Amino acid sequence: MQHVVITGGSSGIGEAFARLHLARGDRVSLIARDAERLAACKERLAASGGTLSAHSADVRDAAALEAAIAAAESEFGPTARLITSAGVAVPGYFEALDADSFRQQMDINFHGTVHAVRAVYRGMTQRRSGEILLVSSAAAFVGLFGYTAYGASKFAVAGFAESLRAEARRHGIKVAVCFPPDTETPQLEAENRLKPPETAKITKTGGIMTAEQLATSVVREFERGKFAIYPGLRVSLLGRFSSLARPAINHWLDRTAERADR
């Protein structure tokens, strides 16, 4: 039994990670911004049993997030595993995305990830143990039409994970990063309503997973010791070969976008 802290835990991927860990007997702490959605999620998860707590905090607020995680640790003990699944995607043409949209996605997806890691990192280094699983995106492999803001934030998460892994290993801390494809969540429903036609056409080719499938696949690979986790065949191929095949991939992406119905 371990204490698992999950940011973005009020729905979707975060809720699926929580459900999986509760079924295994772990103590789970959910962190999310929306107190009402968080309470509803806690009620859904509590119905199936398990040791669960919920703490409301916005990952963009480093002090509030640190306080929420400290409260969780006072209840369930030190964080053994942190999963950073808080995220937002607002696609759109670059010229239509204002500075606030870029700032929001970078603040939540990247800075929110860093804030969560910082809140548990000192304790993990002192104990010389701990696990950190960061959630990036398949959109971090290549630049996708319509994702100038979102893609940049998820590229940043992947780069952060690379450097963090190199540093954390000397403290006995395990770091990994996963790259989900489109996943059936409330977030994806909201995102789909905003996608330009070109983006919708491109992302349809990437496949889709349920949140439960994703969580099961990611945790399995994480516990096998993988650093970069590519859920699903399409994402696996893209993750392993995108750097080698980038000219061909970009050509295909451009042609696909050109054929989209506006």
Per-residue pLDDT tens, the chain, 262 aa: give them: 899 999 998 899 999 999 999 999 999 999 999 999 999 999 999 887 889 999 999 999 999 999 999 999 999 999 999 999 999 999 999 999 999 999 999 999 999 999 999 999 999 999 999 999 999 999 998 889 999 999 999 999 999 999 999 999 999 999 999 999 999 988 889 999 999 999 988 888 777 899 999 999 999 999 999 999 999 877 777 767 666 666 666 665 677 777 776 5
Length of the chain: 262
Residue 125, Cβ neighbours under 10 Å: how many?
16
The HSE-up count of residue 210 (CA atoms within 13 Å, CB side) is 4
The whole domain housing 220 covers 3-258
Residues 214-262 have pLDDT tens digits of 999 999 999 999 999 999 877 777 767 666 666 666 665 677 777 776 5
Domains identified in the chain, total number: 1
pLDDT of residue 245: 60
Note the pTM of the prediction, 2 decimals: 0.92
Catalytic sites, residue numbers: 136, 150, 154
Alpha carbon distance 185, 17 (integer Å): 13
State how far the alpha carbon of 216 is from the alpha carbons of 31, 187, 212, in Å: 20, 19, 6
| CATH number of the CATH domain containing 8 | 3.40.50.720
Alpha carbon distance 225, 207 (integer Å): 25
